Amino acid sequence: MAIGIKPSALRQTRWHEYLIRFALGGLATVFAGAMAKMFGPETGGLFLAFPAIFSASATLVEKHERQRKEKAGLRGTRRGKEAAALDAAGAALGSFGLLAFGAAVWLLAAYSAGLSLLVGSVAWVVVSVCLWSIRRWIGA
């Protein structure tokens, strides 16, 4: 399947689900800052890759896929879990992109804040998408 955008998927998500993700994201950022303040940047930095909203996202993916299948008159429990597994497989690849982001900030922070965050973001996209494409290409 080629990469595509499905705007109708946004209608599947209820407003309270957006609110939960916003709150969890906000709390994760506060938590990461608090950890850095308490234990220093070496420990605090670990929490920049903490899977804070992964539970909420994976549960939503599972729920939406299950509902979609049940609407079509099929048993969706298994498909829901498979969708969550695929989501996690994507995140495993994306974590290498996150590693590249961290490396860019580590190496470029001394030169410019904006540049290091920009290069880090581009590195995240490039590494993540390349790894995903390679995985599709080899059929893993």
Partner 1 sequence: MTEYVIRFFVGGFAVSMFAVLGDLFRPKSFAGLFGAAPSVALATLAMAFWNQGPTYAAIEGRSMMIGSLALCLYSIAVCQLTKRYETGALTATLASLILWTAAALGGKWLLLG
Please, which residue, 71 or 77, has the CB nearer to partner 1?
77
Q: How far apart are CA 95 and CA 126, in angstroms?
A: 12
Q: How many CB atoms lie within 10 A of CB 10?
A: 8
Question: Residue 90's closest CA among 8, 3, 22?
Answer: 3
Cβ 137 to partner 1 shortest distance, Å: 13
Quick check: 138 binds partner 1 (CB under 8 A)? no
Residues in 64-123 that interact with partner 1 by CB under 8 A: 78, 80-99, 101-107, 109-110, 113, 116-117, 120-121
* Neighbour count for residue 117 (Cβ, 10 Å): 15
Give, as ranges, the residues between 32 and 51 that touch partner 1 (CB under 8 A). Answer: 32-34, 36, 40-51
